Amino acid sequence: MRIEANLILFFWAFSIFSCLCFSVSSVNFGYRFHSSAIQAEQVKLPRKSSGTNKLYKTKYFTQILDHFNFNPKSYQKFQHRYLINDTYWGGPKKNSPIFVYTGNEGDIEWFAQNTGFMFDIAPHFQALLVFIEHRFYGKSIPFGGDKDVAYSNASTLGYLTSTQALADYATLIIDLKKNLTAVDAPVVVFGGSYGGMLASWFRLKYPHVAIGALASSAPILNFENITSPYSFNNIITQDFRVISLNSIYLF
């Protein structure tokens, strides 16, 4: 309970700090993670290294195609890729936390190599790092891994939804914790942009799996008739004014 309390306190404080220091825009998202990515490279060893200090190990989980319906196609499976780093993990006996990145619309390796913040804080919390790929992207392609088939028509692309992706993450995390004999380990999910939206929704939909979520530059309300279509440009304009003023005072 003490570990969970410390985690919640840390991410609560960090969220307030982020709100004060950064506006929620994709421009800031790229800036923040760019600087952190440099630090992440410092812990990265050559991919051919057999040591545990390399950036990650690649693993696969046999995932179900459809989590919500019951028809013959629903029971099809596909190989779901995820990356794992146990360099800093304190292990299940210490009830050390698991930090999970909810993958975006792209190859999960790119996100693992550009999300330095998770690597920065993992030693302090003795956390296990897990990066889960989004279905239909990277190497997590259903229908035998054939992209042409997976993207061929509405009947196959209908399984490419955020709801299915969230269920993928929940299923994989629960199974992983069981295999690691770490069923009581607290889980915090991370994400940026669309991945941040997924992290937020995951915490809302699966509160029994994750105790918290950190969403960076996540446009969770950026939908028609909810948020103004000019919000993004307004935020960029405000950022530009702040940067311009700071430049004037600097010189």
Distance CA 131, CA 112 (A): 6
For residue 102, give both structure tokens: 């909810």
Give the CATH number of domain 2-220; options: 3.10.20.30, 3.40.50.1820, 3.40.50.720, 1.20.1440.230. Answer: 3.40.50.1820
> Can you give the pLDDT at residue 4?
60
- Mean pLDDT of each 10-residue bin along the chain, 251 residues long: 58 45 31 30 36 74 94 87 97 96 96 93 97 98 95 94 98 98 97 96 97 92 82 86 71 52
> Can you give the pLDDT at residue 8?
56
CA 64, 78, 175 angle in degrees (round to 5)? 55
Q: In this structure, which amino acid lies at residue 33?
A: F
What are the helix (H) ranges across the chain? 2-21, 26-42, 108-113, 116-125, 147-150, 154-157, 162-179, 194-205, 231-250
> Can you give the pLDDT at residue 239?
87
Write b or e for each residue in 58-80: b if 16 or more Cβ atoms lie within 10 A of its Cβ, otherwise e. eeebebbbbbeeeeeeeeeebeb
> Can you give the pLDDT at residue 42?
36
Give CA torsion, residues 93, 99, 103, 109, to 10 deg.
Answer: -80
> Can you give the pLDDT at residue 20?
33
